[in-house]
Chain A
Amino acid sequence: AQTVTQSQPEMSVQEAETVTLSCTYDTSESDYYLFWYKQPPSRQMILVIRQEAYKQQNATENRFSVNFQKAAKSFSLKISDSQLGDAAMYFCASDSGGGADGLTFGKGTHLIIQP
């Protein structure tokens, strides 16, 4: 069974600053993917970024990047130049490689952007 842990229930950052959200996971799979999803107040789940465990290079998507430490089973999300629209719940999730049997989610981090 996989587990995903997000130890920061809430984070606050000033607009235009950088913030890092933490995530650790545990899996016995050798091949897997990791995801960060964003859930704004509208409740819609939106993919932010994904990382394949076999790729050593950290994924980046514009202002969003990850720090993937496979040996430590750590997968943190860095948001640069934070914007008001980044305010949301952020969920870390893992799958078992094929993904057909669903994702395992962490409990989420509520990100507040201070203007």
Chain B
Amino acid sequence: NAGVTQTPKFQVLKTGQSMTLQCAQDMNHNSMYWYRQDPGMGLRLIYYSASEGTTDKGEVPNGYNVSRLNKREFSLRLESAAPSQTSVYFCASSDTRREGDEQFFGPGTRLTVL
């Protein structure tokens, strides 16, 4: 099992450019998440998908959109990147049919917006 995979691992954008971060999991988990991690901060939830076909805003959703493409894949899109979106982005998944199940995290994407 690959677990949670993310592409790309690194990306540099110019202000105003768009891009999509891809995430896939092979653990048959129903729930998936996108977090961002800034220096000196813990992870903050951007969007989540409790089950296939549903998505909801988290703590910091502004400037992002998401798509739960199928049970395995959950993408994060930046339509018009801004320097404030420079961060490390983590995708995670969990089986929330089992209470307290841990979230499994991908390796992260380091995004720099110039």
At the interface with chain B, which of A13-21, A62-70, A78-86, A92-100? A92-100
Number of interface residues of B (CB under 8 A): 28
Instruction: Please tell me if the beta carbons of B42 and A47 are within 8 angstroms of each other in the complex.
Output: no
Contacts of A43 in B (CB 8 A): 88, 107-108
Q: How far, in Å, is A103 (CB) from chain B's closest CB?
A: 6
Q: Indicate if B71 sits at the interface (CB-CB under 8 A).
A: no
**Interface residues as binary, B1-44 with A (CB distance below 8 Å gives 1, 0 otherwise):** 00000000000000000000000000000010101000011111
Contacts of B58 in A (CB 8 A): 101-102
Check A107/B41 contact, CB under 8 A, given A44-B105, A45-B105, A100-B31: yes
Complex alpha-carbon distance, A99 and B92, angstroms? 12
Name A residues whose Cβ lies closer than 8 Å to a Cβ of B: 4, 6, 9, 31, 33, 35, 42-45, 47, 50, 52, 91, 93, 95, 97-108
Sampled A-B contacts (5; CB under 8 Å): A43-B88, A93-B42, A97-B99, A100-B96, A102-B48
Other-chain residue from A47, A98, A101 in contact with B99 (beta carbon distance below 8 A):
A98
Instruction: Please tell me if the beta carbons of B42 and A50 are within 8 angstroms of each other in the complex.
Output: no
Instruction: Please tell me if the beta carbons of B101 and A103 are within 8 angstroms of each other in the complex.
Output: no
**Interface residues as binary, B95-114 with A (CB distance below 8 Å gives 1, 0 otherwise):** 01001111101011000000
Other-chain residue from A9, A35, A44, A91 in contact with B107 (beta carbon distance below 8 A):
A44
**Interface residues as binary, B36-61 with A (CB distance below 8 Å gives 1, 0 otherwise):** 00001111110010110000101100
Q: Indicate if B74 sits at the interface (CB-CB under 8 A).
A: no
Which 5 pairs of residues, A with B, have the shortest CB-CB distance?
A: A105-B42, A45-B105, A100-B50, A33-B100, A102-B45
Complex alpha-carbon distance, A97 and B73, angstroms? 24
Check A50/B100 contact, CB under 8 A, given A43-B108, A100-B48: yes
Name B residues whose Cβ lies closer than 8 Å to a Cβ of A: 31, 33, 35, 40-45, 48, 50-51, 56, 58-59, 88, 90, 92, 94, 96, 99-103, 105, 107-108
Instruction: Please tell me if the beta carbons of B42 and A4 are within 8 angstroms of each other in the complex.
Output: yes
The listed residue with most B CB atoms (<10 A of its CB), out of A6, A91, A102, A106, is: A102
Complex alpha-carbon distance, A99 and B35, angstroms? 14
Contacts of A33 in B (CB 8 A): 99-100
